[in-house]
Amino acid sequence: MSTPFLPKWPVPAFVAPDKLAAIQAEFSREWLEMTASAQQGRLAPPSDRRFNAPAWAGNPASLLMAHAYLLSAKAMNQLVDAAEVPEPVRNRLRFSVMQWTEALSPANFLATNPDVQQALIESQGQTLSMGIQNLFEDLQKGRISQTDESRFEVGVNLAVSKGAVVFQNRLIQLIQYAPLTPTVHKKPLLIVPPCINKYYILDLQPENSLVKYAVEQGFTVFMVSWRNPLPFEEDGIDTLGWGDYLQEGVLAAIDAVSDISRQKQINALGFCVGGTLLASALALAHAQGRQPVAALTLLTTLLDFNDTGVLGVFVDEMHASLRESQIGQGGLMTAKELGTTFSFLRPGELVWNYVVGNYLKGKAPPAFDLLYWNADGTNLPGPFFTWYFRNTYLENNLKVPGRLSIDGHPIDLGQLSMPVYIYGSREDHIVPWRSAYASTGILSGDARFVLGASGHIAGVINPPNKQRRSYWKLDAEPSSGRLPDDADAWLGGASEHPGSWWPDWAAWLADHAGPKVRAAKSLGDARHVPLEEAPGSYVKARAV
């Protein structure tokens, strides 16, 4: 059988001839098998979810197109894998191929998607009319809608745990949550969320709120709510840097929590960039002669930026220098740009899926609290962003003892000797779990590492009442407190447990939180009078 549509492959100089020949031979064989099956009416629908609607199976030409697309995409990725280039270049090639192949899927176009065409006919054109309306609304927003945003409001059905803002400066509001138990552990817990997002990912709704769960376990919980810098504000917030976030953000919050609780040492949890900030702030405090935290929790946090996963494709000197020239002395890295970047890390799920649903099929996306939060981004001060980008992602300076100084104090994460609970998510594309594990070799305290199923957010937000997913841990941890140097060696000795990792963490934290005492009847103290009810005003500021 002839193959008139078989592509004539260019011969890339960086792919070895034998590997190229093997890829071509495999492509030719599968092409012939595919076209033969199509001619005989035996071509089965592909397993790819984009092509699983009955309309694809009922249209032989469209079905063949879907298979040809998937076969071509497979061959393109094989070429990238076979390329004789340095691994960073390969990762960029892989990322570029992913963008193109995801964008060129026949499911993304009215003319080549039989499911969309069928819906258009059956609705007598209403799907197209609604799709155009959805498109115009999203153009006004400047982003693709991923959920029905009319169904959510911060402080109404999101971030509803009872509490009050008990401290505020130009960078943070500090929320103290009301107790839900008659007695509480003596040492309170301060949570430092990422400043790149709103804090309420940890307090979405009562049934999936880590805040509510921790309060129910008898912990006095405080939360940092980062201010969302907006354009043209006159208090200089767009000129703040990494050191300002440590001093006015994390350490100011620690001091306030210590004052309110009357504890010289508290416990602290950092999530994602919040964990990087928290560890950096504690290293700064140590350099200043203070040790304000007794036990530390780091969730999907990078301290060693040697492997940053797919985000590494954006990291190079040219990008760092460009940003420094643009916003290094002042200005904003906008939430819109950050959000677009993160969406295109998974374009199939977070971009084209909604292009098809919102615009081609004219559907409104369903209400989903996590995706509402995902769209509620924050801006970052330019100096903060550029310092962070260069000293972590580009140069990996933070993990090197003494290489960085804040306000004249050298930073050494290895001096942090408190017990630490480190969590990573197995399918995390933002903080690869092995990179999260690397923190066990940087910090000097007894470390407990737990690996959860799923990704960066879904792995963390996994309440026990759902009985979903699983996690891995060492059932018998080394008496020395030192885990294996190699992450895969740790995984080889770990056992899988069904359900949420939250109870494991709560039990660990209870061992480091001191005895139970009577819960306070009021929030704050004489010096930290409640300013407003939770969730406060900072979290409600929308990026523009």
Contact (Cβ atoms closer than 8 angstroms) between residue 462 and residue 469: yes
As a whole number of angstroms, the distance between CA 286 and CA 246 comes to 13
- Cβ atoms of 50 and 68 closer than 8 Å: no
Say if 433 falls within a structural domain: yes
Does 224 lie in the same domain as 94? Answer: no
Say what the pTM is: 0.92
Q: Are residues 93 and 203 in the same domain?
A: no
Q: Which two tokens stand for residue 494?
A: 């770990």
Are 186 and 86 contained in the same domain? no
The residue segments making up the domain with residue 63 are 17-106
Same domain, yes or no: 176 and 101: no
Q: 237: which 2 tokens?
A: 């917030």
Strands (DSSP E) found in 266-404: 266-271, 293-299, 332-333, 380-381
**Chain centroid, CA 363 distance in Å:** 27
Q: Given 65, 87, 106, which residue is the final one in a domain?
A: 106
Q: What is the pLDDT of residue 1?
A: 35
**H helices within 1-57, ranges in order?**
17-39, 54-57
172 with 96, same domain: the answer is no
Number of domains in the chain: 2
Of the residues 269, 272, 333, 487, which is catalytic? 272
pLDDT at 6 (0 to 100) = 40
Task: Let me know if residue 353 belongs to a domain.
Answer: no
| Partners of 15 in beta bridges | 83
The answer to whether residues 184 and 73 belong to one domain is no
Question: Are 390 and 508 contained in the same domain?
Answer: yes
H/E segment holding residue 99: helix 87-103
pLDDT tens for each residue of the chain, 544 residues long: 334 344 444 444 488 889 999 999 999 999 999 999 999 999 999 999 999 999 999 999 999 999 999 999 999 999 999 999 888 888 889 999 999 999 999 999 999 999 999 999 999 999 999 999 999 999 998 889 999 999 999 999 999 999 999 999 999 999 999 999 999 999 999 999 999 999 999 999 999 999 999 999 999 999 999 999 999 888 889 999 999 999 999 999 999 999 999 999 999 999 999 999 999 999 999 999 999 999 999 999 999 999 998 899 999 999 999 999 999 999 999 999 999 888 898 999 999 999 999 999 999 999 999 999 999 999 999 999 999 999 999 999 999 999 999 999 999 999 999 999 999 999 999 999 999 999 999 999 999 999 999 999 999 999 999 899 999 999 877 777 789 999 999 999 999 999 999 999 999 999 999 999 999 999 999 999 999 999 999 999 999 7
SS (HEC) of 368-419 = CHHHHHHHCCCCEEHHHHHHHHHHHHHCCCCCCCCCCEECCEECCHHHCCCC
Q: Is 272 a catalytic residue?
A: yes
Residue 251 lies in a domain: yes
Instruction: Note whether 102 and 203 are same-domain residues.
Output: no
Asked whether residue 369 is assigned to any structural domain, the reply reads no
Q: For strand 183-185 and strand 516-518, is the pairing parallel, antiparallel, or unpaired?
A: antiparallel
pLDDT digits (tens, 9 = 90+) for 261-272: 999 999 999 999
The one-character DSSP state at 154 is: B
CATH number for the domain spanning 518: value is 3.40.50.1820
Question: How far is residue 180 from each of residues 76, 381, 451, 465, 494, measured CA to CA in Å?
Answer: 56, 37, 29, 18, 34
What are the respective helix, strand and coil percentages of the chain, to the nearest 5? 45, 15, 40
Would you state the pLDDT for residue 173? 98
Tell whether 180 is covered by a domain: yes
Give the pLDDT score at 479: 74
Do residues 169 and 85 share a domain?
no
Residue 322 lies in a domain: yes
Which residue among 73, 90, 106 closes a domain?
106
Q: Residues 93, 187: one domain? A: no
What was the pLDDT predicted at 8?
44
Quick check: 256 and 167 in contact, CB under 8 A? yes
Residue 114 forms part of a structural domain: no
The pLDDT value given to residue 234: 82
Distance CA 19, CA 83 (A): 9
102 and 173 together in one domain: no
Q: Is 154 within the bounds of a domain?
A: no
Domain boundary among 79, 106, 133: 106
What's residue 232's pLDDT? 86
Considering the domain architecture, whether residues 319 and 189 belong to the same structural domain is answered as yes
What's the confidence (pLDDT) of residue 63?
Answer: 96
